[in-house]
Amino acid sequence: MFEGQPQDELEAMMKGDSEFRQLLQRHRELDKQVLDAELGVLPLDDNTLSRMKREKLYAKDRLIRMYETKQQHH
């Protein structure tokens, strides 16, 4: 998600904004769980998987908005 961004900027946001850090950690956790479910490693029903994908997408959108807002104020 932030692969093209300077790592130091991302780390600064994680240190300075606890909401951003928690949301990024949650997104990474969901990303791994969704991948595991799709690979068949983590057995989940379709409703749970769909809910997790929606939450992951919401987290991604929120993180991107937070990051872009922070960049505009610099």
What does the pLDDT profile of the chain (74 residues) look like in tens digits? 788 888 888 899 999 999 999 999 999 999 999 999 999 999 999 999 999 999 999 999 999 999 999 888 76
Distances (CA, A) of 52 to 4, 5, 58, 64, 67: 25, 26, 10, 18, 22
Residue 62, SS3 per DSSP: helix
Could you tell me the pTM of the whole model?
A: 0.86
pLDDT of residue 74: 67
Burial annotation 32-60 (CB, 10 A radius, 16+ → b, else e): ebbeebeeeeeebeeeeeeebbeebeebb
pLDDT at 54: 98
